[in-house]
Structures are given as structure tokens and as C-alpha cells.
Amino acid sequence: MSQKMANTHAPMTTTPMTATHLAGLTRRRLLKTGIALSAATVTGAKADLTIGGQVISQPSQRYGSNNDPNNMAFGEPSAMPNGNTPMETLPINPQWPQWDFATIKANCEALKGRGVHLHLVAPSGFGSDEQRNLLAIHRLTQAGFYIDNPEVISRRYLRFAGSDSERLDDITALLNRPVHELPKILLGVRGGYGAMRLLNKLSDQQWRMLTQKLKERGTLLMGFSDFTALQLAMYAKGHLPYVAGAMLSSDFGKTEVNTDTIQSFINLCTQNQLRIQVPEAQLYRDTARPLAKPIKGTLWGGNLSVLSAMVGTPYMPTVDNGILFLEDTGEQPYRIERMLQTLVLSGIVAKQQAIVLGKFNFSGISDAYNGDYTFDTVIRTIQQTTGRPIYTDFPFGHVARRINFPLGVPVTLDNVGSGYQATFNQFYHLKTDANFGNLDLTKLFV
């Protein structure tokens, strides 16, 4: 049964980027149009971001202003491409200057030892839009990040960002480095498919060694979509916390970045408390059972397709009394239920206190057999089967506006008004890095 929740040092610079540069860069085009549906309403929900106990003010505009970095209202997401689809580029005006890899690479090397270390990982699909990826690297170097392994953006083998051995090298290259030479951010380039092919190519000992060193460094393992496979493996093998968050191509490579996403990236990287509020959401639960207030546990999960595919493997984490987060895109409702049933029948859901659903982007897809079989039907079925409360509309998924938030860490879920809030107090950030004072993160908005 569903019901509304009862009250839930100086910045460094490289080659400057002008508006003319920005205008000439290619864009990812929308290949599959549609809206993101939710159990609560087809208009979606909004969410505030609160840092250090202070709620960032929510603007009056429905979707939030794209010019205000403090705007953390999440409404109905704009249509955006499926994170697993190929990229398409727009025609290039010959008068627009183009970035070249040699220049970008030189800018990266110039920041070695002075910038906050960020290592690129491309375990999945290749990026067909080189200019988009070069723009993303440029933005990050302008902000003060030293980008390691930029060569990944030009690799391609079949549908992948290089051969299995090349993509594996992105990870194994870190094994022999001392802790102080490891990156503070391990950033995924893009999603697609391919990360699962790499998991059994490292031994358990290698996985444990790598995750232990990354934990000592306090590395943020950041990405989503197919990148979830790598994140789950590292959490299963060494309890390395991870971040459902921005990726190189889809977020930092936009001609005009989404300010909500970038602002939440900055907040995550610079604060020691994160509070995400979802003012209006749907709570599915058994009304005959009292709802624990608040619910506390480890929030974990990620992309539903990847999680369901990893059930029964040694790379699937075992989390008792946890809170399971799930999101996906481009699937019919019955396919979503089948994947959820896999998690139920495997006993995973029985170990959880609650389920939190992010934004499910259906891209206009409905059930091919019966249009009345909706996402709402699926959620009701799973709730009645498991008895677990299910929260909806968490502002993350394959949508235009998404927040960055930690997984594999403790979270507290509180009912607030007609919605809920999630509070995180223990996660890695960048302030411990010796070069943190050299960052100028405002340049990520340019």
C-alpha cells in the first residue's frame, strides 16, 4: 500500500577557455526522448541539499535556475540520453577552435605535484566525442586537478574503451604505487558495458590490497551506470566506500554543465556532512506495521541492471541491516520487476531495512503487453512481497539533474513533512589532500 509520508591559496590556471571555445564544442544529443516517471507523480520530486546542517535555499522556479550554483532543487528532469547509448555529435563550425590532446595532456602534466590527483578509469564503453572529453579534462585542470591517465579517452576496441587488458591496466596501474601517490578521486569516464569482464582478472588478494590502499588514501571512487560493477566489487572485497556521482563525459563534458550536479560534486568533495532532502515523495509500506523513526543503516547499491547481474557472484557485497539504493533507465516495468525479484529471491532484500529508489528514466517506454502495468504496480508488488518500506524519488539516476552522494557508508533516513531526508556524516572528501588549497572549484561551472 502506498501513502504520502507522514511527517521526510591561489588558484592555478592553464590555457583559459573562452565562450568561443565553449560554443564550438560538440554535444551529446538526445537519442531516446521521454520523461522520468516515479511512483509519486509523473512530474517528479524536488530535493534540497543541506550541508553542515544548513539547507541550501530552494528557488521558486520549478526546475531551478541553471545559473545559480546554490540552486539544489530537483524537479522533473529534463530529457537526457540513456547513459548506455552511444554518443552523437553536432556539426562543427570550422570557425570554432578545437582542443587537441597534446595541449590538454601538457596542461595535465603541468599540474603534477600541485593539483589534487584525479585518475581516469574507462572500464566500459568508449567515448565517441573526443572534444567533449577534452573539454571535461580542461575544466578539471582549470579547477586545479592533476589528471592522470588522460589517454583513456582516445582508446577504442569494439564497443569498449580499449581491450580488456588495456581497461584492466587503468586499475592495476595503481597496485604498485605507494599510498601517497594514489589519486584522491578515481573517476569513471562513462557507462555502457564492459566493467564486469574485468572483475575476475584480479585475484582476491589483489582486490584486497588495492581497496586497502585506496581506503588509506581516502579515495573517492566516483561514477554510476555500468561503473557500478567496479564499485560493488571493491566494496565486496575491501569495503571501499564509493560515490554515485558525476562522470567525465556525461557531466563535466557538457557544453553547459548542470549547475545542480556540479554544486553537489563540490559539496561532497569539501564538506563533512551531507543532508539530502526530498520534500515530496511516495512511501510504500505496510500501514499495519509501525515505521521505525529514523532508519539507520549502510546505504549501498547502484544501477539495478548491474546489481541483478552480479547476484551469486563473489563481487556482490553482503550487507546486513542495510538500506538498498537502486536506479535504472530504459527498461519496461516488467523487466524492472524481474530484476527486483532476483534481489528478493536471492535473499538480499530480506537483509535490508528499506529500499530507496532513485529516478527511473523510462524514456517513454511502457509495458508492451498491458499499459496498465506500471512502475507503481511494480513497487507495490515488491513492497507487499517483502514487507520493506520503499522510498521513491531520490534525486539520482540517468537524468539531467542528479546529486552526488556516498554509498557504502552509514545513512539516517528521517521522515520530514510529506517527504524524507538522508543524512550522511562519514565519507571521504578532499580537504585531507595537501593540494586542496590550490583548488578553485568555481571554475567547474565555466
Residues involved in catalysis: 225, 327, 398
Alpha helices in 143-258 (DSSP H): 164-172, 204-217, 228-238
**Pairing of the two strands 145-148 and 390-391:** unpaired
Three-point CA angle 369, 375, 381, nearest 5°: 95
CA 38, 340, 326, 253 torsion: positive or negative? negative
Grid cell 549547475 in the structure block, residue: 259
Coarse DSSP helix, strand, coil percentages of the chain, rounded to the nearest 5 percent: 30, 20, 50
CA 150, 154, 157, 158 torsion: positive or negative? positive
Instruction: Give the cell for residue 53.
Output: 546542517
Instruction: Give the cell for residue 23.
Output: 560554443
Kindly provide the b/e burial profile for residues 256-268, where b requires at least 16 CB atoms within 10 angstroms of the residue's own CB.
ebbbbbbbbbbbb
Could you tell me the maximum CA-CA distance found in the chain, to the nearest angstrom? Answer: 67
CA distance 322 to 379: 19
